[in-house]
Structure 1
Amino acid sequence: MESDSEESLKRELEELQKLLGKKLRFEEAVRSLHSLLRELCPSASHSLRKLFYSVVCRVATILKTRYTAPGFWLAGLRLFEQAECTFSDPSEKEHLKKCIAQAKDHLHNIDNPQTDSQSSENRGYLFEGHLTVDPEPPMPQWLVQQNLLAAVASLSTAESSRGPMEDSTVSETAGNLIQSLIDNLDSVIPEILETDGAIPRAPPASKEVVAKLPIIHLTEEVLVKLGEDAECAICKENLVVGDKMQELPCNHKFHPPCLKPWLDEHNSCPICRYELQTDDHNYESWKVREKEAEEERKGAANAIRGGEYMYV
């Protein structure tokens, strides 16, 4: 393939990748990519084949994070099947097989709707105006603890003021709460027994702080710096050019839909454990006191070492 032709094909692939982000042009862009993949990819250079694969992976990422319409997923399935036959690298083929399986599973669930009880457990949730494909993340453990302890406190109040007709209702509620306490015993007991000398559990990151975290779109230059096998450390998806990423002050980057639930539960970078500011005044005051105490401990340790050197 001549150099001018390769450059033209590269520009066409880059333009298709941009169109994938526009809902009204998504299916058209996938069909065009499918045709180019079938006709030109087998004879393309190594760098162009890598670009083809990158754009196909972008289709998979967009489907999983934005769209649920069966037409979009059917177009994606056909593209993944063609790509799986076109690429020969074992790791690429393995990833494409997973994409095919996920597309088939999504289309099967549309053709065979679940019962209400099942769908309530497995359906996607609304995030930033889009219905996700994956189910909503589990409630953070700190919130489970908080709700459970609040319910126990409310039950104690009801117990002291209830009438004879309410005995059975309150008893049933008490039984359910006791079972919940038993199920969450390992996590709730430290919360109840927490003392001033214990290390408090970090509350979720401040919503205002999270909202101000910069959002960037990955460029080829940034992706090269991150490395060939760069991935989102939370969802483990490989990063591709054009991915929208949210950057923490420690400079580590993650998909926004992955980062928010993680910060709600852990409030720390999953890579380096950098901790964001919270809205909890008591916790922030504890951090300041702990930092000052640590500096005092270091100063005392240095003084002891200095005294030891004087007597050597």
Structure 2
Amino acid sequence: MESEDSVKHQLEELQKHLGKKQKFEEAVSSLKSLLQQKYQLASPSLRKTFYTAICRVATVLKTRYTAPGFWNAGLGLFEQAELLVSDPYEKEHLKGCVSQAREELHLEDNPTQVSQPAQNSANGGYLFEGRLTVDPEPPQPQWLVQSNLLTTAATLFAAESSQGLAADDTSRENAANMLQDLLNRLEDAVPLMLSDGPVPHKVPPASKEVVAKLPVIALTEEILTKLGKDAECSICKENLALNDEMQELPCRHTFHPPCLKPWLDEHNSCPICRYELQTDDHVYESWKEREKEAEEERKGAENAIRGGEYMYV
């Protein structure tokens, strides 16, 4: 029989995978499977580990992966967990997770929409966890589109390499054409991959707490000498003088405190290098995190495709 330590280790590994967009849905599916197999006979300690992992899924869905496909995966897990847990607090929390997932998927007015199989596929339903849904299948997440493109390219490379020198000009030309087509499709997909949600129209103001903690220094002769005789506050454009109080951003640029606060409220970026401070807007901060991840994925995908393209030049 599999030990509880082994199950705990699996749960810890799955929680790590939740932080990677390409592995999220697979990790949620594995977590649900473990829940069904191990939870009822688990010790209180192991049950708590299960609950912690499920809460992590809820947190990631709320803050990072907000596309319908991810919420669909989370809904199945939350519903399964709500049926199994006995702790009143945990059950109530999971009920809230189910409710929020249904709301995100616009199922709040029709609770049976996902769980009730359709009679036939003529209505455009799709298979989800072995059942035919009522609604049409949601569009694939863009990371999956990207993954499929890369898989196709990798298969093409392997097939072409196996032919070696025996490959004729026609097969090489076909391969090059397919690679170019893949590259074109990837370039079409990249702008969509950069955002899983609405793009904020304006940067929110800097967090008041963060601004309040910015250090304030008084200008000394030594500092003024380093800055130069024409040094000025980049916001008000007034020349700096001895004993002027200056507030320092994390990027090390300094400004008059009365100038900096309204500037950060309006622009939330350093006037010199455009460094952004943290905001109190959780939606915006989540969007920035997704943008950062998408940019890394985009660079990796383009490098992989273009690297393969060079093989045929």
* Structure with the larger RCO, 1 or 2 (CA within 8 Å, 6+ apart): 2
TM exceeding 0.5: no
Q: TM-score range by the shorter chain?
A: 0.3 to 0.5
